Structures are given as structure tokens and as C-alpha cells.
């Protein structure tokens, strides 16, 4: 929803479309940006995509006009964090003999991603984390880090089990009510 009296002038010659060609000559550009009120796709909270922000996106960053802003600032930041974590995880995962600092990072990233709901809390996921922690245990200089990570793992596993029990209870109650 457009917010009145917020228009700022756009520079069509700096805008582009996904197609790659500039449509400036054909008049197919945005002349003004307005503050617009949106609902975040992820958290469903309202946010404003500010006119100044749009100018920055479409004229400075070179983001094509078709790309719309669908997430609030907080969710966009979270999204970027997840993307970075995923990329880093893949880099580390490709190393055949990870050293202690890499093992620590692998475990830490895995735990973060389980917490963010990016990784399924599957027994295999937990098994892999435990395997890395075991390897790490051979390096006694990393004992403090290892214990910290082990505690975080135990905490997450406990909360997963609790959620699972709750689900089983709910299912059981549904069966009984039949
Ligand atoms: Zn949001």
C-alpha cells in the first residue's frame, strides 16, 4: 500500500530490468518511488519499504526492477545470515581432513542451522555432529570449546525430544477421542 506524500524522484537511466536491457528509451522505467506498506512474507509483520531504500536498491545496487522487497529488515538480515552459514558449511564440509578450528565451526554452524530450522533435527544430523565432536576430543587443547558445543548439542536434543513427546501425546489424544 502506497503511503501518500512520500514520493521522491527516480533516475530512470540508472534502473534496469532482469532482461538486462535498459528500457529507459522506451519510457518503461519508474519515475517516482513511494514509501510502501507491506506484510513480511516470513514473520507476517507489517514493514515499510521506504522510497529512499528503493532508490538505493534500483539505482545504486543495480537490483532489477522486477525484484521486489518481500521481507522486513530483520528477516532479510536473518536470511542473509542463513545463506552465509550454508555457504560456509559447504566449504568446510568439502574438506577431507578438517582440523580442530574447522571441526568447531562445522559443529557450531550445524547447531545454529538446526535451531533456525534450516537443518532437520534428524538422527543422522546429530550422529554427524557427534562424530565431529569425537574427532575434536583427540585435541586436548580444544577441551573447553568441545564441552561447550557438547552442552549446546544436548540442549537442542532435549528440546527436540520434548517437542516429539508433545506431538506423540497430541496424536495419542486424537486417537483416544475417536
Ligand atoms: Zn519479517
| Cα 152 to middle of ligand 1, angstroms | 27
pLDDT one-digit tens code per residue, 31-77 = 999 999 999 999 999 999 999 999 999 999 999 998 999 999 999 99
Ligand 1 center to residue 66 CA distance, Å?
20
How far apart are the C-alpha atoms of 53 and 69, rounded to whole Å? 10
Residue written as grid cell 519510457: 27
Average pLDDT over residues 137-165: 93
Ligand 1 center to 50 CA (angstroms): 15
What does the pLDDT average to over 114-142? 91
pLDDT at 129: 96
Nearest to 111 by CA among 149, 55, 164, 72: 149
For residue 130, report the distance from its CA to the centre of ligand 1, in Å.
33
Residues with CB under 5 A from ligand 1 (ion): 40, 42-43, 72, 75
CA of 1 to the centre of ligand 1 (A): 17
What is the per-residue pLDDT for 176? 61
Q: How close is the Cα of 76 to the center of ligand 1, in Å?
A: 7
pLDDT of residue 26: 66
CA of 48 to the centre of ligand 1 (A): 11
Domain spans of the chain, in order of start: 8-71, 74-177
Closest by Cα among 68, 72, 77 to 47: 72
What is the C-alpha separation between 102 and 86, in angstroms, rounded? Answer: 14
Stronger pLDDT, 26 or 113, i.e. the higher one: 113
Ligand 1 center from residue 142 Cα (angstroms) = 38
Amino acid at each position: 500500500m502506497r503511503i501518500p506524500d512520500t514520493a521522491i524522484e527516480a533516475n530512470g537511466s540508472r534502473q534496469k530490468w532482469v532482461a538486462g536491457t535498459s528500457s529507459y528509451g522506451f519510457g518503461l522505467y519508474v519515475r517516482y518511488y513511494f514509501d510502501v506498506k507491506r506484510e513480511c512474507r516470513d514473520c507476517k509483520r507489517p514493514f515499510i519499504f521506504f522510497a529512499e531504500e528503493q532508490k538505493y536498491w534500483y539505482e545504486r545496487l543495480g537490483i532489477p526492477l522486477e525484484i521486489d522487497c518481500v521481507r522486513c529488515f530483520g528477516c532479510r538480515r536473518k536470511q542473509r545470515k542463513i545463506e552465509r552459514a550454508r555457504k560456509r558449511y559447504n566449504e568446510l564440509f568439502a574438506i577431507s581432513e578438517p582440523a580442530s578450528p574447522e571441526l568447531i565451526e562445522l559443529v557450531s554452524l550445524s547447531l545454529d542451522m538446526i535451531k533456525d530450522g534450516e537443518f532437520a533435527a534428524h538422527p543422522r544430523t546429530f550422529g554427524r555432529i557427534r562424530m565431529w565432536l569425537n574427532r575434536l576430543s583427540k585435541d586436548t587443547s580444544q577441551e573447553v570449546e568441545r564441552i561447550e558445543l557438547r552442552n549446546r548439542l544436548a540442549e537442542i536434543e532435549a528440546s527436540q525430544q520434548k517437542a516429539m513427546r508433545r506431538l506423540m501425546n497430541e496424536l495419542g489424544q486424537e486417537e483416544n477421542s475417536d
